[in-house]
Amino acid sequence: MSYSEPTDGGEFVEEEAEIVDLDGEPFVVVGELDYEGEIYLALIPYEEGGDDEEEEEEIEFVVLKETEENGERFLATVDDEEKYAKIGEMFLDLFEEEGEDVSE
């Protein structure tokens, strides 16, 4: 899987899927984007052993910003609504290219 660079200067970063814990709920990182020097992640709820029918359904994702404090990685909300929408659209474009059916 290869990601192309979006026209607005952001850069898609390809990485293997990882599972993160958000307030006790597991989420899968389905995309990572380097935009204006900051890393943003697209996440979907983790479900063990989903079947093919579920994969056909539209899946919603959330966008979080990666931050680092004292050498530890944290995920934070994106408070700027315009930036959140722009980054969400960039992820949607990426997923569309990859043939995934997801929504923000």
Q: Domain coordinates of the chain in residue numbers?
A: 11-103
Kind of pairing between the strands at 38-45 and 25-35 = antiparallel
pLDDT tens digits, residue range 47-96? Answer: 776 554 445 566 789 999 999 999 998 999 999 999 999 999 999 998 88
CB-based contacts of 95, cutoff 8 Å, min separation 6: 30, 31, 42, 101, 102
Model's pTM, two decimal places? 0.69
